Structure 1
Amino acid sequence: MPANLPPQYYALEKEFKKETDPHEKLRLAKECLTMIPKHKGTDKLQAELKAKISKLKKQIEGGAKKHGARHTDLLTHIEKEGAAQIIMLGPPNSGKSSLLDILTNSKPLIADYPYTTREPMTGMMEYDTVQFQLIDTPPISAERLESYLFNLTRQADLIALVVDVSTAGFSERLRILFDRMEEKRIILTPQIPEENNDPSLAFKKTIIAAHKYLDENGDKGLEEIKKEYSNFTIVSTSILDDESLNNFKQAIFKTLGIIRVYTKRVGHDIDYRDPVILPIGGTVEDAAYALHKDFAHKLQYAKIWGQGKFEGQRVKNSYVLSDKDVIEFHI
């Protein structure tokens, strides 16, 4: 029986053979396996791929033991914290580290020379009671790109491209970044397409921070990037402009397509410290599940407080919530 493999499989197989990074080879091997139709004619091919996957896992585990498992894990996977994980990507000296420094409690190494950032660094950024995980990463250029960045980018909830619009040639450096990502089947896009017929492609929702727009020539650069990338959400940012930094946070919240919902226990005050985060369109039942699935199963009804609502309005579990609603659960 012929294998009848789809064209996407051969594209992935070609990438797999060229790739040298074991983590990236493992990802590609797993994707190849998902592309193979499950029938008798592909049994041998499936077995071969599974053997390669097993071998790569052992190779990675062996390398982790040799060089320090904790350090290796940090480079290939960062545990998500807060409402969402946002990875900042950018060319050399784009100002990512200065943004991380001023927006979070982290203290990255900041210098005027390129490639100061050598490993990912995380920090928590707050926006209107919501905590976001912000990650600074090594710069991307035609000459240099850390291979582990592909895994981190695929795992992130949102990509923030940071580019210094006050420097000459920034547009070309940004185009190189897009191209380097696309080489690894990662498409940085303003909107995720409703359908993806090629599972090997990872579409990542992206915003652009037009950084250092207050510096000399920054105003010209800002106009240039707005014209060239008009389909993206573009936020002008500067560490000297608090309003621009708040706009950056707001753009992240809006682009993620989420709402925050506050909870209230019967007879107690509203808890504004740790909101429940839901996608737009989330319901009372979704909020209950976010707290605990058993809690959701026992839920009978809820009372809602919010803009344009009756105070303490009783609603069903299917009720669609709005941003900043307050819920009182009754079980």
Structure 2
Amino acid sequence: MNVETKVVVAGKDVIADGVVSLTLRAVDDEPLPRWQPGAHIDLLLGDTGLIRQYSLCGDPADTTGWRVAVLREPDGRGGSAWIHDRLAVGAQLSACGPRNHFPFTGAPRCLFIAGGIGITPLLPMVAAADRAGTEWRLVYGGRRRASMAFLDELARYGDRVIVRPQDETGLLDLDALFREPPELVYSCGPEPLLAAVEERCTGGTLRVERFTPKPVEDLENAFEVELAQSGFTVGVPPGTSVLDAVTAAGVQVLSSCREGTCGTCETGVLDGVPEHRDSILTEEERATADYMMICVSRSRTPRLVLDL
């Protein structure tokens, strides 16, 4: 869903060391687009030209405001620093979405595993599971308790929430967590945590969301892309993404992260077999070969036909 909404920053609060929350409302006071747990929005950061994705972590039933939380990343590309240092209450921004590649489908028994700012998409999932009477647990790890956002909000769930600051308890004991495997696991956090969780989950029991790209092997092959709607055939040489190749041919495609983590450039595949290199699709979705993220994914066949 690529709806663009003009929003105003109605609130900005420090909620943990290095983390601020933003409350966004529609400039025209109209209801905001509805969303479900796991959804995110793209924020266009003023005149910087930057676009960043943030998980919605408020109440899906509240159409008057969206809430996101932003971690300051000292080694980032400037988006989080701009929000922390320059974005003021009353500022107007453009937001696209919401989109959801991390939907909460529920299960009788759920385990939520969060690392750091990865708590954000899990907050509304936990609330939904609790309302539904699901048997659930949340294990929330972070570097320090002071840097872990939303601890006060999570306190109402009592011992269903297990807080594990690394400086107090060390790394999460994942082996102990999976001695009694849950029916479904939802996890979000840094790549080492997600990789370790993936090692312990089999049989389609895991749903993850990544904020950084999943490491992949380089497959810098050359191939052709036929654009079914435009009537063009475009060559994609090694070292050039499908997105860059079709854009150079004059076909405009909405894109954002260019890392395969946001889903903005998702494109239908009409023929051929994509080489998926994104960090979004499940193995089941990859097997259908119905669509691909053209900012990073390539082709297993000499030719792809795309719905562009």
- State whether TM-score is above 0.5: no
TM-score (normalised: structure 2): 0.28
Give the structure, 1 or 2, with the largest relative contact order (CA under 8 Å, sep 6 or more). 2
Structure number with larger C-alpha Rg? 1
